[in-house]
Amino acid sequence: MLNRQGRPSQPGEAAVAAHPTFTGNRALQQEEPLIFEIGRPETTGVDVDEPAPFEPRLGGLERTDGVGLPGLSEPEAMRHYVRLSQKNYGIDTGLFPLGSCTMKHNPRLNERMARLPGFADVHPLQPFSTVQGAFELMDTLAAWLLELTGMQAVAMSPKAGAHGELCGMMAIKAAIAAKGEAATRRVVLVPDSAHGTNPATAALIGFTVRPVPARPDGTVDPAAVQAAIGPDVAAIMLTNPNTCGLFERDVVEIARIVHEAGAYFYADGANFNAIVGKARPGDLGVDAMHINLHKTFSTPHGGGGPGSGPVVLSDRLAAFAPVPFVVRDGERFRLVEDEADAARQGARPFGRLTAFHGQMGMFVRAMAYMLSHGADGMKQASEDAVLNANYVRACLADLMSLPFGNRPCMHEVLFDDAWLKDTGVTTLDFAKAMIDEGYHPMTVYFPLVVHGAMLVEPTESESKASLDLFIATLRDLAMAVRRGDVERFTGAPYHAPRRRLDETRAARQPVLRWTPPEPIREAAE
Ligand SMILES: *Cc1c(COP(=O)(O)O)cnc(C)c1O
């Protein structure tokens, strides 16, 4: 087989096993032990003076031995962290096709803005008079979010999408209680294709979840909603575009049915990046929707990075938004922090969701993203995200199978594993072989409604050349499946620093703590 450069390629175990190295390193792929394994307590990278003698005030509880921190020289510490950082695969390394995550462009400008001392160094307990600029930014960002969604109010404090779901559903619960229907409206409708956080949120605050099946085209049938709804229903939680990458084309009719039954429409807005500037949730009949600032308006995420999930609310729910929120008093901004103050603003908040006002750093990034793109730029980002996903779909549809037929998708394209049937290769094998090719795999086995799902989201910021190489790689892999080159998949990854891991065991029995090896003396006994 010839590779892309026209040279013979040697995929597989044989090529690696034939040339073992003394160090275990493979060229620039260097093995890196834990920092505890390379550190020695007597070594230090900094020269700290002995503290002056002092009288401890801990009544004899003070520590007498070391805390066991690894001791490293400065170059050793640098090498350790630089090597670890080089093992990362991220959007700065290459195309990141993970679906349902909208990993995307994180403009450096945003990072610069978020690090401005006036934003980065503010403390949540500072006097209002000293943080007027931060309040103004929050107020302006809130106005843009309302403009883009066509909604009435926005709660800025939720710190992730799932947290936003909680906020929106608590507002719905409060609204229902205010109407005296708390005892009767106990059910939340959730389509089968929903993200797991939707039913989890509803259940967490005491609702019973009633599933709504999808129809064969992957969308929700209004007739199914009609059949499931009744006077016991508090709300529906619907993702649009949905997790299959499809626009819920009957969303307006679904909203009508839900409202007619006296219930509320919660939209999961995690995929808002596909429709920004094109459609406004407010016009579709949505009552509450979280926006993942980290998925739609940039900010690096994943790997535990911070999120931010402001929730936009319709006029039916606006009054119930939680404290604190920013208001403008004449020339000055301030936070409304308690119920009495909120009541003077005509609001009846369901309570407080977080200690403070939300994720300032993410607000700054989102604002910088919006200002640098402009209204036309944001609309184009949505269009390009959808165009890129459809390009990938069109270029792979002859080799890989599409569960809902070869018709246009939104910002992500969903394949299933029907095309792998009887080949001896699974979705997981295929994903692992992508690692050998230098790509982070797409999202696999989600959404659950599709067998062996492969959800590809190329994002708006990939060039045609980058997409073409990605497509060519997937085509090459798909052709290998067809040829019966099963070994290329079942043993993959061959070239990664670690081979196939026992992911089930890692999830079920995680080893989260390093324990020092027994001292040699004890081992010898
Ligand atoms: C990511 C996502 C969520 C949850 O958002 P977090 O910020 O990760 O809490 C909810 N629904 C969908 C469809 C998502 O993709």
What are 14's two structure tokens? Answer: 């044989």
- Tell which residue, 452, 397, 455, has the closest CA to residue 241: 455
Residue nearest atom 5 of ligand 1, based on CA coordinates: 161
Q: Alpha helices, DSSP H only, in 315-359?
A: 339-344
- Name residue 134's beta-bridge partners: none
Q: Phi and psi for 336 in degrees, rounded to 5? A: -90, 120
Q: Specify the ligand 1 atom closest to the Cα of 162.
A: 9
Q: What was the pLDDT predicted at 26?
A: 84
C-alpha to C-alpha distance for 414 and 389, rounded to whole angstroms: 10
Residues 6+ apart with CB under 8 A from 21: none
- Tell which residue, 489, 488, 412, 404, has the closest CA to residue 443: 412
Q: What was the pLDDT predicted at 106?
A: 85
Q: How far is the CA of 201 from the centre of ligand 1 (A)?
A: 12
Q: How many CA atoms lie less than 13 Å away from 270 in the CB half-sphere?
A: 26
Q: What was the pLDDT predicted at 17?
A: 62
Task: Evaluate if residue 13 carries a pLDDT over 60.
Answer: no
C-alpha to C-alpha distance for 446 and 426, rounded to whole angstroms: 14
CB of 160 sitting under 6 A from ligand 1: yes
Residues 6+ apart with CB under 8 A from 498: none
C-alpha to C-alpha distance for 435 and 212, rounded to whole angstroms: 36
C-alpha to C-alpha distance for 522 and 525, rounded to whole angstroms: 5
| Amino acid code (one letter) for 105 | H
Q: How far is the CA of 348 from the centre of ligand 1 (A)?
A: 27
- How far apart, in Å, are the Cα atoms of 436 and each of 8, 87, 501? 16, 14, 15
Q: What was the pLDDT predicted at 246?
A: 96
CB of 276 sitting under 6 A from ligand 1: no
CB of 268 sitting under 6 A from ligand 1: yes
Q: In this predicted model, what pLDDT tens digit does every residue of 31-77 receive, in sequence order?
A: 899 998 888 878 888 888 888 998 889 999 988 887 878 899 999 99
C-alpha to C-alpha distance for 29 and 310, rounded to whole angstroms: 41
∠ CA(230), CA(254), CA(179), 5° rounding? Answer: 45
User: Are the C-beta atoms of residues 341 and 363 closer than 8 Å to each other?
Assistant: no
Average pLDDT score over residue span 367-392: 96
Q: In this predicted model, what pLDDT tens digit does every residue of 450-464 receive, in sequence order?
A: 999 999 999 999 999
CB of 301 sitting under 6 A from ligand 1: no
Q: What is the CATH number of domain 379-498?
A: 3.90.1150.10
| Amino acid code (one letter) for 114 | A
- Best CATH choice for the domain 109-367 from the list 3.40.640.10, 3.40.570.10, 3.10.180.10, 1.10.150.80: 3.40.640.10
Q: How far is the CA of 164 from the centre of ligand 1 (A)?
A: 9
- Which range (60-69, 75-84, 126-135, 263-272) has the least confidence? 60-69
Q: Specify the ligand 1 atom closest to the Cα of 194.
A: 13
B/e letters for 158-172, b = 16+ CB within 10 Å, e = fewer, are bbbbbbbbbbbbbbb
* Mutation to probe ligand 1, out of 102, 104, 192, 195 (largest number of atoms < 8 A from CB): 195
Q: Specify the ligand 1 atom closest to the Cα of 102.
A: 15
Q: What was the pLDDT predicted at 92?
A: 86
Radius of gyration for the alpha carbons in the chain, expressed in angstroms and rounded: 27
Residue nearest atom 14 of ligand 1, based on CA coordinates: 270
Average pLDDT score over residue span 231-240: 97
Q: Is 24 exposed, middle or buried (0-12, 13-18, 19+ CB in 10 A)?
A: exposed
Whether cis (ω within 30° of 0) applies to the bond prior to 222 is: no
CB of 270 sitting under 6 A from ligand 1: yes
> Which residue ranges make up each domain of the chain?
109-367, 379-498
Q: Specify the ligand 1 atom closest to the Cα of 294.
A: 7
Q: Specify the ligand 1 atom closest to the Cα of 165.
A: 10
Average pLDDT score over residue span 215-235: 96
C-alpha to C-alpha distance for 266 and 430, rounded to whole angstroms: 36
Instruction: Write down the mean pLDDT value for the chain.
Output: 92
| 3-state DSSP of 428-454 | HHHHHHHHHCCCCCCEECCCCCCCCCE
Residues 6+ apart with CB under 8 A from 162: 197, 200, 201, 309
Q: How far is the CA of 326 from the centre of ligand 1 (A)?
A: 25
5 pLDDT tier (thresholds 50, 70, 90) = low
Residues 6+ apart with CB under 8 A from 5: none
- Tell which residue, 321, 361, 337, 355, has the closest CA to residue 156: 321
Listing from the earlier edge strand, what are the strands of the sheet with 208-212?
Answer: 153-155, 311-313, 288-290, 264-268, 233-239, 187-191, 208-212
Task: Evaluate if residue 525 carries a pLDDT over 50.
Answer: no
Task: Evaluate if residue 524 carries a pLDDT over 50.
Answer: no
Residues 6+ apart with CB under 8 A from 169: 188, 201, 202, 205, 207, 235, 237, 266, 288
Task: Evaluate if residue 433 carries a pLDDT over 70.
Answer: yes
CB of 110 sitting under 6 A from ligand 1: no
C-alpha to C-alpha distance for 326 and 342, rounded to whole angstroms: 11
Q: What was the pLDDT predicted at 517?
A: 77
Q: What was the pLDDT predicted at 521?
A: 46
Q: In this predicted model, what pLDDT tens digit does every residue of 176-191 receive, in sequence order?
A: 999 999 999 999 999 9
Task: Evaluate if residue 382 carries a pLDDT over 70.
Answer: yes
C-alpha to C-alpha distance for 243 and 234, rounded to whole angstroms: 23
476 pLDDT tier (thresholds 50, 70, 90) = very high
Average pLDDT score over residue span 96-113: 88
- Which range (60-64, 259-263, 334-338, 339-343) has the least confidence? 60-64
CB of 296 sitting under 6 A from ligand 1: no
Q: How far is the CA of 297 from the centre of ligand 1 (A)?
A: 14
CB of 166 sitting under 6 A from ligand 1: no
What are 191's two structure tokens? Answer: 């389509």
